[in-house]
Chain A
Amino acid sequence: NAGVMQNPRHLVRRRGQEARLRCSPMKGHSHVYWYRQLPEEGLKFMVYLQKENIIDESGMPKERFSAEFPKEGPSILRIQQVVRGDSAAYFCASSPISAGTQYFGPGTRLTVL
């Protein structure tokens, strides 16, 4: 059973460009969580999604960031007009039920030049 998959693993963008991060949850998991990890810091919750629904986006910046988890395909975290402060590792986790253990993917390391 493949684990949580994220791509790309590394992403370089120039200021003002868009970054699109993808997350494929573990097979049978319909709950997806996105976290951001700044250097030398812990993971900060961003958003929790179920298929086609955003359940909790209390950790998402109000502007430029959006997330979706369509009926078919991976969950996507989109960052528009990236700035240097967006440089971080973005982790996706999935769980089989809403109160279940979260399993993390390997992360996408975003660098904004």
Chain B
Amino acid sequence: QQQVKQSPQSLIVQKGGISIINCAYENTAFDYFPWYQQFPGKGPALLIAIRPDVSEKKEGRFTISFNKSAKQFSLHIMDSQPGDSATYFCAASMNSGGYQKVTFGTGTKLQVIP
């Protein structure tokens, strides 16, 4: 019930294309859904996040779509660039004893080819 399932495991996209990564969760207590971007040898960095009362959030080329009834959310990267090549983690968090406990998906390794 605490899991966050992420797919695909890896993704190759042509430069200029759209990258789509999907995640699903079971626990309806989750109330915050961040996406993290991780480059090799670095720590994850917060990319964009959404709360379940919103169906879509857009920041530049990055958009989160959220379907509360289906308990699914996805990251869309428009006009994908080689510099976007990284591993992307979806996550879900909920208040647990006064703090936000974060559960991560297993990650998607994105490669954008020129």
Name A residues whose Cβ lies closer than 8 Å to a Cβ of B. Answer: 4, 6, 31, 33, 35, 40-45, 48, 55-56, 91, 93, 95, 98-107
Contacts and interface: CB of A to CB of B under 8 A. Distances in A.
B100 interface: yes
Contact of B104 (A43, A95, A101, A103): A43
Interface residues of B, number: 24
Contacts of B45: 104
Given A43-B89, A91-B44, A106-B43, A98 B104 contact: no
Interface of B is mostly: strand
Nearest to A48: B99
Given A48-B99, A98-B100, A100-B100, A42 B89 contact: yes
Interface string B72-114: 0000000000000000010000011111111111110000000
Given A6-B43, A42-B89, A100-B100, 16 more contacts: A4-B43, A31-B99, A35-B104, A40-B106, A45-B102, A55-B98, A91-B43, A93-B43, A99-B98, A102-B46, A102-B100, A103-B46, A104-B36, A106-B43, A107-B42, A107-B43
